[in-house]
Amino acid sequence: MSYAELGSTVLSSAGGAISFVKIAFGEGFPTFLAGWFDWIGSITDCALGAIVFALSINYFLRWLEPYLLAIIILILFAIINFRGVRTMGYLKMFGMNIAVHWAFLSAGRFFHLRFPR
């Protein structure tokens, strides 16, 4: 309920939750803490996501070093992010196209093997 009320008062401001804290508490120390913790949380989330993904890949491919793979993944996504939104949009469309094709091919193979003519 409080996010709905704050969302109706923030007219057109970027910043997400930090804008809400700024409206609620002003431009003081709580807003600084909210911004700082949001930044630290984003960095931690990216690092943990890369490590979990690398450990998941390591479960299937034992010869890959998981922490080196996590660093490579972080560097790759940082480069994509620095290139801009358009590059990330193209890569998302490419990845989604591959995922949809793979899903249809897998479903076709499953139903072909399950129900032969």
Tens of pLDDT, residues 88-99:
888 889 989 999
Rounded Cα distance, 80 and 58, in Å: 23
Same domain, 35 and 76: yes
What does pLDDT average to over the chain?
83
**Count of the separate structural domains present in the chain:** 2
- Mean local confidence (pLDDT), 59-68: 89
To the question of pTM greater than 0.75 for the whole model, the response is no
- Could you give the C-alpha distances from 67 to 25, 47, 84, in angstroms and in order? 41, 10, 26
Q: Indicate if 40 and 6 belong to the same structural domain.
A: yes
Q: Are 50 and 78 in contact (CB under 8 A)?
A: no
Cβ distance 73 to 53 under 8 Å? yes
Looking at the structure, do residues 66 and 110 belong to the same domain, yes or no? no
Residues 52 and 68 in one domain: yes
Q: Is 65 helix (H, G, I), strand (E, B) or coil?
A: coil
- Do 28 and 55 sit in the same domain of this protein? yes
- Domain of residue 111 covers 84-117
Quick one: pLDDT at residue 17?
75
Using an 8 Å Cβ cutoff, are 47 and 74 in contact?
Answer: yes
